[in-house]
Amino acid sequence: MLNTNPKFIYFDLDDTLLNHKKAEENGLKDVHSYFEELHEVPSEQLINTYHHINKGLWEEYGRGEIDRHILHRRRFEETFIELGIRGELYSEAGKVYMSYYRTHWEWVEGAKEAFDVIRSNYNVGIITNGFAETQWMKIDQFGFRDMVSQIVISEEVGVMKPHSKIFDYSTDCVGCDRSEILYVGDSFASDVKGGKAAGWKVAWFTSSPTKEGEELADLVFDDWRLLLKMLGII
Ligand SMILES: [Mg+2]
C-alpha cells in the first residue's frame, strides 16, 4: 500500500491519462503527407527536428520569454527552415497539424480502466501544462468535466508545473492538507519534482525511472494495476 491514504488524487493529462506523444507523432506524419515540399525529407527527420525545436520553445515559454503565439509560429517556421523548406508555410502547417492531432487523441493503455476505478473510490482532478484552448478540447472530447471535480490548466493559472503557484492553487481548490493529496504524472521535472516540492505524495508513471526519481517519488509504476493495488482498490 502507498504510505498514505489520499483524500484527493490529481492526475496529469498528457502522457499520463492520454497518449499525447503518439498523437503528436501521428499528427506530424499527417503534416508530412500533406505538404509536397516535405516529401524529400523522411518523416522521422521531420518528427525529430520538430521535437527538438518544440522542446526548446516550451522551455522559453515556461520561463515567460515568449508567448503562445510566438511558440506556435516558431515551432513550424524553425522546423521547416532547418529542413530546408520555406518557413512561411508555418501558418498553414500549424493549422493542418492541429486539425490532425485532434483526431489521434486516445487513452494511454490501461489508464481508462484504472481511472474509472479510482474515480469511483476517490475524489479526483486534473492538472495539465498546456494551452487552454487545446486542453479544453481534449477534456470535452473525453468527457472529463463529468468525471472530475477540479480541472487546472497552466495557461489559466499563469504558470506551468513545476512552479509552486500551480500546486498551491490546486491545493487551495481541494481544501485538504498537502500530505493528503496524491499526484499521478509522467514527468520527473514537472510532476515528481513539482508535486514533492508542494508537500504532496507522488506516483510517477514511467517505464524508465532514474535513481533520483525513484528516491523522490512515493511510488514508481508503469502498470496501472500496480497503482490500484497500492491504493488498496484491487
Ligand atoms: Mg505529462
In the reported structure, the alpha carbon of residue 129 is separated from the centroid of ligand 1 by a whole-number distance in angstroms of 8
Pairing of strands 219-221, 201-205: parallel
In the reported structure, the alpha carbon of residue 12 is separated from the centroid of ligand 1 by a whole-number distance in angstroms of 6
In the reported structure, the alpha carbon of residue 188 is separated from the centroid of ligand 1 by a whole-number distance in angstroms of 9
Does the pLDDT at position 1 exceed 90?
A: no
Of the pLDDT bands very low, low, confident and very high (cuts 50, 70, 90), residue 5 is confident
C-alpha span between 224 and 50 (Å, rounded): 30
Taking ligand 1, which is a single-atom ion, which protein residues have CB atoms under 5 Å away? 12, 14-15, 186-187
Report the pLDDT value the prediction gives residue 201, as an integer from 0 to 100.
97
**Can you list the alpha helix ranges (DSSP code H) found in 127-204?**
132-141, 154-157, 164-174, 193-197
Report the pLDDT value the prediction gives residue 87, as an integer from 0 to 100.
82
Write down the pTM of the prediction: 0.95
Report residue 91 CA to chain centroid gap: 24
Q: Of 62 and 119, which is predicted with more confidence?
A: 119
For 176-210, write each residue's pLDDT tens digit.
Answer: 999 999 999 999 999 999 999 999 999 999 999 99
In the reported structure, the alpha carbon of residue 125 is separated from the centroid of ligand 1 by a whole-number distance in angstroms of 14
Mean pLDDT of 164-170: 98
Report the pLDDT value the prediction gives residue 14, as an integer from 0 to 100.
98
Distance, first Cα to last Cα, the chain: 11
Residue % of the chain over a pLDDT of 90: 94
In the reported structure, the alpha carbon of residue 40 is separated from the centroid of ligand 1 by a whole-number distance in angstroms of 32
For 93-121, write each residue's pLDDT tens digit.
Answer: 999 999 999 999 999 999 999 999 999 99
Detail the DSSP E strand segments found in the chain. Answer: 8-11, 123-128, 150-153, 181-185, 201-205, 219-221
Report the pLDDT value the prediction gives residue 86, as an integer from 0 to 100.
87
In the reported structure, the alpha carbon of residue 5 is separated from the centroid of ligand 1 by a whole-number distance in angstroms of 23
Report the pLDDT value the prediction gives residue 2, as an integer from 0 to 100.
66
Could you tell me which residues come within 8 angstroms of residue 51 by beta carbon, excluding any fewer than 6 positions away? Answer: none
Domains in the chain, please, with CATH? 8-19+106-230 (3.40.50.1000), 21-104 (1.10.150.240)
